């Protein structure tokens, strides 16, 4: 119960922070700067990265637009331009810049962008997979065995070079799988964007939405799992 009241307070506080200038206390209409006293305003904590860059919540984004908006906001927030300002403004500039940099890094990368969108839409933190995905189970168990055997082998022996050759093939196969997954993700991204563009509120659209998000989450966590295995493999045979 106490948790509830706390959240409500938090929300009210945020509401206040957003609607009132911290400096002159006037009603805020401007986005990041107060219209009246022109002081920089702290970016609200519940502002999502898409909104921050003025972009729709889509998975295909125009990276040129993203970049130019990033540069524009960097010019607005960067601490370099607040050296002669008050401590309060310097601290807002620092916080806003750090948030902006995180937002840009997240949206610039298609995978991180999708993970972030999934978090926003489904409110779920990324699944961390600890066992191989079903369709790769056998393959990965065998690979682990080969890796162990290789680690214990005498690297100059003929046996080791046979194992190394096998591991190279496994690596190629896994990288192929990773690319497959990325292609599937691309399809899901397009489906997501199309669904959003249609903006239907039907039962069917809702079911489609849930399905896309679920598939996206599964493939993203499988991809991360496979990527980690490949990294481990590359480090071992290097």
**Rounded to the nearest whole angstrom, what is the least distance from the CB of residue 163 to other proteins in the complex?**
23
Q: What are phi and psi of 33, to 5 degrees?
A: -130, 145
CB of 69 to other proteins, least distance (A): 12
Nearer to other proteins, 105 or 214 (CB): 105
Nearest to other proteins of 77, 192 (CB atom): 77
What secondary structure does DSSP assign to the chain, as a single string? -HHHHHHHHHHHHHHHHHHB-TTT-PBP-SSSB-TTT--B-PPPTT--HHHHTT--S-SS--HHHHHHHHHHHHHHH-GGGGTTS-HHHHHHHHHHHHHHHHHHHHHHSHHHHHHHHHHHHH--PPP---S--GGGHHHHHHHHHHHHHHHHS-TTSHHHHHHHHHHHHHHHHHHHHHHHHHHHHHHHHHHHHHHHHHT--SHHHHHHHHHHHHHHHHHHHHHHHHHHHHHHHHHHH-
- Residue closer to other proteins by CB (options 108, 166) is 108
Q: Which is nearer to other proteins, 61 or 216 (CB)?
A: 61
- Chain contacts with other proteins (rule: CB under 8 A): 71, 74-75, 78-81, 83-84, 94-95, 97-99, 101-102, 104-105
Q: Which is nearer to other proteins, 38 or 165 (CB)?
A: 38
- Cα 24 from Cα 11, distance rounded (Å): 22
| Closest approach of other proteins to the CB of residue 108, in Å | 10
Closer residue to other proteins in complex, CB, 13/197: 13
Question: Minimum Å distance from CB 49 to other proteins?
Answer: 14
Which of 98, 141 has the CB closer to other proteins?
A: 98
Q: Phi/psi zone of residue 40: left (φ > 0), alpha (ψ -120 to 50 degrees), beta?
A: beta
- Compute the least distance from the CB of residue 212 to other proteins, in Å: 28
The minimum distance between CB 223 and other proteins, in angstroms, equals 18
Residue 117 Cβ vs other proteins, minimum distance, rounded to whole Å: 20
């Amino acid at each position: 119960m106490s948790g509830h009241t706390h959240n409500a307070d938090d929300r009210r506080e945020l509401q206040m922070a957003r609607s009132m200038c911290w400096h002159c206390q006037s009603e805020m209409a401007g986005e990041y700067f107060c219209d009246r006293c022109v002081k920089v305003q702290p970016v609200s904590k519940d502002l999502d990265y898409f909104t921050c860059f003025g972009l729709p919540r889509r998975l295909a984004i125009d990276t040129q637009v993203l970049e130019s908006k990033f540069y524009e906001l960097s010019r607005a927030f960067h601490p370099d331009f607040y050296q002669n300002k008050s401590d309060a403004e310097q601290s807002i500039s620092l916080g806003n810049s750090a948030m902006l940099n995180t937002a840009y890094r997240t949206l610039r990368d298609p995978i991180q962008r999708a993970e972030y969108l999934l978090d926003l839409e489904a409110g779920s933190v990324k699944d961390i997979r600890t066992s191989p995905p079903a369709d790769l189970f056998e393959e990965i168990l065998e690979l682990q065995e080969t890796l162990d055997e290789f680690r214990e082998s005498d690297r100059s022996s003929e046996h080791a070079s046979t194992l190394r050759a096998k591991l190279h093939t496994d690596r190629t196969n896994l990288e192929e799988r990773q690319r497959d997954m990325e292609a599937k993700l691309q399809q899901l991204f397009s489906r997501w964007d199309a669904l959003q563009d249609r903006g239907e509120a039907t039962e069917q659209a809702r079911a489609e939405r849930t399905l896309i998000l679920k598939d996206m989450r599964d493939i993203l966590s499988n991809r991360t799992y496979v990527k980690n295995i490949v990294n481990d493999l590359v480090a071992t045979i290097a």
